[in-house]
Amino acid sequence: MIRLSKASKMPCRSWSLQAKDTCPGAWKSKRELVDACKGCYATTGNYNYPNVKAPRIHNREDWKRDGFVSDFIEELDNDRYFRLFDSGDFYHVKLVEKWIEICKASSHCKFWIPTRSYKFKKFSDVLEALNSLPNVVVRYSSDSILGEYTPGLHGSTIMPEGHKDSRITKCEAYERGGKCGSCRLCWNKDVDVIGYVQHGRKMRSVMLNKIKEKEDE
């Protein structure tokens, strides 16, 4: 059974997995997360409620069944925008391959897919194939929380409030109460890098510590 979610800020539905458990690119080492994942919103607040966790836990097994692709294509019949992973990430190559099939068959719908799994060679070809589809934007996420990114590689970064970089397109949600509204920049292939202003107490704490580290260097 297809189980979807819809984050309060988002203009569309999404398919997600449990944070950290399915995020191979989130880890700097076996015990330490990269900076951008230390303050992950999907490990706090509402995401800890059993009813929010349930579909994400279900999805980790559901995608493996034979009818997953055909069921999802049918489910997306009326969607015009869709997001993968308001939590979680690609953790298996076969999962990417199934999403290539879904996106190819759903040309009426635009897909935005953030990921850190690009760090692993085994994902290179399938992620490139997915991103080559005209209705798909795969955004490779920077690990930075200070607005740093690698041009030509990263499609998004987290940045402090007031950060200035003319090459970054600032997410507009933080100027309208955390809501996307009519903005669809994340789905726009012509937008190279989206900058998400840090938000939430957990991320703010991580960012303040990182800034202090930089000042002490």
- The answer, yes or no, to whether residue 183 has pLDDT greater than 90, is yes
CA proximity to 135, closest of 175, 89, 76: 76
What is the average per-residue pLDDT within 171-184? 89
Band of residue 205 on the pLDDT scale cut at 50, 70, 90: confident
Residues 6+ apart with CB under 8 A from 76: 82, 102, 106, 109
**What pLDDT, on the 0 to 100 scale, is given for residue 46?**
84
Tally of CB atoms within 10 A around 76: 21
**What pLDDT, on the 0 to 100 scale, is given for residue 24?**
97
**What pLDDT, on the 0 to 100 scale, is given for residue 208?**
79
Which of 102-106, 162-166, 199-203 shows the lowest per-residue confidence on average (mean pLDDT)?
Answer: 199-203
Residues 6+ apart with CB under 8 A from 142: 36, 148, 149, 150, 154, 156, 157, 158
* Interval 14-70: pLDDT, tens: 999 999 999 999 999 988 999 999 988 888 888 888 999 999 999 999 999 999 999
CA gap 76, 2 in Å, rounded: 10
- The answer, yes or no, to whether residue 199 has pLDDT greater than 90, is no
> Of all residues in the chain, what percent carry a pLDDT higher than 90?
77
Q: Where are the domains of the chain?
A: 13-216
Provide the mean pLDDT of the chain.
93
* Interval 135-172: pLDDT, tens: 999 999 999 999 999 999 999 999 998 899 999 999 98
State the chain's maximal CA–CA distance in angstroms. Answer: 55
Strand partners, 156: 141, 194
